[in-house]
Amino acid sequence: MWRASVLTILPDMFPGPLGSSLAGKALAAGGWALDVVDIRGFATDRHRSVDDTPAGGGPGMVMKPDVLGRAIDATAKDDRPRLLLSPRGSPLTQGRVEALARGPGIVLVCGRFEGVDERVIAARALEEISIGDYVLSGGEIAAMALIDACVRLLPGVMGAPASGAEESFADGLLEYPHYTRPQVWEGHAIPDVLISGDHGKIAAWRRAEAERLTRERRPDLWAAFLRHFRSGSRTG
Ligand SMILES: C[S@@+](CC[C@H](N)C(=O)[O-])C[C@H]1O[C@@H](n2cnc3c(N)ncnc32)[C@H](O)[C@@H]1O
Over residues 30-48, the pLDDT tens digits come to 999 999 999 999 999 999 9
CA–CA dist 115, 84 (Å, integer): 10
Burial of 181 (0-12, 13-18, 19+ CB in 10 A): exposed
The pLDDT value recorded for residue 234 is: 47
For ligand 1, atom 15, which residue shows the shortest CA distance?
136
User: Could you read off the pLDDT of 77-107 as tens digits, one per residue?
Assistant: 999 999 999 999 999 999 999 999 999 999 9
The pLDDT value recorded for residue 235 is: 41
Give the distance (Å) from ligand 1 centre to CA of residue 148. Answer: 19
Ligand 1 pocket: which of 114, 136, 140, 147 to mutate (most atoms within 8 A of CB): 136
Please report the DSSP string for 209-222 in residue order: HHHHHHHHH-HHHH
Query: Which helix (DSSP H) or strand (DSSP E) does residue 95 occupy?
Result: helix 94-102
Give the distance (Å) from ligand 1 centre to CA of residue 126. Answer: 15
- Any residues with CB less than 8 A from the CB of 155 and at least 6 apart, and which? none
Q: Which of 7, 2, 4 is nearest to 84 (CA)?
A: 7
In this structure, are residues 231 and 225 in contact, taking their beta carbons and an 8 Å threshold?
no
Angle, CA of 135, 138 and 144, to the nearest 5° = 100
Which residue type, as a one-letter code, is found at position 70? R
CA–CA dist 161, 193 (Å, integer): 24
Side-chain-facing half-sphere of 2: CA atoms under 13 Å: 24
For ligand 1, atom 11, which residue shows the shortest CA distance?
138
In this structure, are residues 107 and 83 in contact, taking their beta carbons and an 8 Å threshold?
yes
Give the distance (Å) from ligand 1 centre to CA of residue 141. Answer: 10
Burial of 20 (0-12, 13-18, 19+ CB in 10 A): exposed
Report which DSSP code applies to 132. S
The pLDDT value recorded for residue 159 is: 73
For ligand 1, atom 12, which residue shows the shortest CA distance?
138
Q: Does residue 168 sit in helix, strand or coil?
A: coil
Give residues (CB < 6 A) around ligand 1: 85-88, 110-112, 114-115, 130-132, 134-139, 142
From residue 43, alpha-carbon distances to 48, 70, 103 in Å are 5, 9, 31
Q: Does residue 106 sit in helix, strand or coil?
A: strand
Single pTM value for the model: 0.94
Count Cβ atoms below 10 Å from residue 187 Cβ, excluding itself: 5
Q: Can you list the residues of the chain whose pLDDT is less than 50?
A: 234-236
The pLDDT value recorded for residue 168 is: 86
In this structure, are residues 11 and 40 in contact, taking their beta carbons and an 8 Å threshold?
no
CA–CA dist 75, 33 (Å, integer): 14
**Partners of 52 in the β-ladder:** 62
Give the distance (Å) from ligand 1 centre to CA of residue 110. Answer: 9
